[in-house]
A and B are shown apart, each in its own frame.
Chain A
């Protein structure tokens, strides 16, 4: 067996476990939006993004337009471009295009962070090893969550639907506690999104569009008021935190069994 590939697979295990838990509740959310287990699995294996897919599910549930879908995905997933850019600096020298095309597919927050933490320059074998289990965990979790949702009583699935929101809260609040700018950006986003929900003439705007507007306004405000100073560390710092959480989640998940 190839050493680089093996190391990658090993590095991917904690990420895969965390993904399984998150995508399980994503699967439940999908069923309540009228998406089947198979469609959900297809979406997960082709997209590999929690916030992007969650927003996408909302657009589908609301019967939004394709333009709305493109804009939603573009804005929410734009951060990956920054990660891909950092990643490109760490690839082995003179890597051919076809290898880059494969590596780009699975560049999620957690995989990016793990790859940037890798001691050597990145090879295709390491990256494929690193990505394979998380992709499997993400897809299988979505499928099983959706299947389980059909089998469980409605009050259980409704309660599990809330899990994904719980995870979003668990991602943002610890950072907001330490960083006032993040707290302000998050609060502004909540305020704006509440306006879209409760102010009568704003309620006509669909959920997908309102998420875009809230995200862009709050993030732009943050960028104007609190420009991030240590630009070199932005993606990896944030990514590392997420890997820590995934690690923790994986351990907790393992301990619970």
Chain B
């Protein structure tokens, strides 16, 4: 299927979600379930997209596991987004080289 068709659909849906409440709805959302549900969505969605997919994102699974371990460790220490991301990426790169050299991948 044409990629631009996908992009158009994505853009329209996302814009409508942002635009309709801004222009049409006058009162606040009072429903506690809906509020809580919307609050939890980003966390649920980001983690569902990350795990277990990240474990298969590198050429060798050992590199991926170590990259994730480094990311989790640094994230828990409160490091910023870019630090965590770069550290995970460098770990994956270095361990993949070692894996390749050892013929593990």
Contact residues of A with B, CB < 8 Å?
A: 18, 21-22, 25, 35, 39, 42-43, 46-49, 51-56, 58-60, 63, 66, 69-70, 73-85, 87-89, 97, 100-101, 103-105, 107, 109, 155-156, 158-177, 181-182, 185-190, 192-194, 197-198, 207, 210-211, 214-215, 218-220, 222-224, 226-228, 231, 234, 238, 245-246, 248-249, 251-253
If A47-B7, A177-B76 touch, whether A189 touches B92 (CB-CB below 8 Å) is no
Q: B82 contacts which chain A residues (CB < 8 A)?
A: 18, 21, 167, 249, 252-253
Whether the Cβ atoms of B19 and A101 lie closer than 8 Å is yes
Contact residues of B with A, CB < 8 Å?
A: 1, 3-11, 13-15, 17-23, 25, 28-29, 32-54, 57-59, 64, 67-68, 71-72, 74-76, 78-90, 92-93, 96-97, 100
- A205–chain B nearest beta-carbon distance, Å: 13
Q: Complex: how many Å from CA A122 to CA B92? A: 44
Q: B54 contacts which chain A residues (CB < 8 A)?
A: 162, 165
Q: Complex: how many Å from CA A50 to CA B36? A: 21
Q: Complex: how many Å from CA A48 to CA B15? A: 10
Q: Complex: how many Å from CA A85 to CA B1? A: 35
Whether the Cβ atoms of B51 and A190 lie closer than 8 Å is yes
Using CB atoms, name the residue of chain A closest to B80.
Answer: A248
Q: Which 10 pairs across A and B sit closest by C-beta, in order of nearness? A: A166-B88, A159-B93, A166-B85, A223-B36, A214-B48, A248-B80, A170-B84, A218-B44, A46-B11, A104-B19
Q: Complex: how many Å from CA A75 to CA B44? A: 11
Whether the Cβ atoms of A74 and B13 lie closer than 8 Å is yes
Whether the Cβ atoms of A215 and B41 lie closer than 8 Å is yes
If A100-B23, A170-B80, A249-B81 touch, whether A46 touches B7 (CB-CB below 8 Å) is yes
Chain A contact residues: helix, strand, loop or mixed: helix
Whether the Cβ atoms of B81 and A246 lie closer than 8 Å is yes
If A73-B13, A85-B25, A166-B67 touch, whether A174 touches B18 (CB-CB below 8 Å) is no
Whether the Cβ atoms of A51 and B42 lie closer than 8 Å is yes
Instruction: From B38, B53, B96, give the contact of A155 (CB < 8 A).
Output: B96
- A116–chain B nearest beta-carbon distance, Å: 14
Using CB atoms, name the residue of chain B closest to A76.
Answer: B45
Whether the Cβ atoms of B67 and A162 lie closer than 8 Å is yes
- B74–chain A nearest beta-carbon distance, Å: 7
Q: Complex: how many Å from CA A220 to CA B37? A: 6
If A104-B19, A189-B44 touch, whether A169 touches B72 (CB-CB below 8 Å) is yes
- A226–chain B nearest beta-carbon distance, Å: 7
Whether the Cβ atoms of B35 and A185 lie closer than 8 Å is no
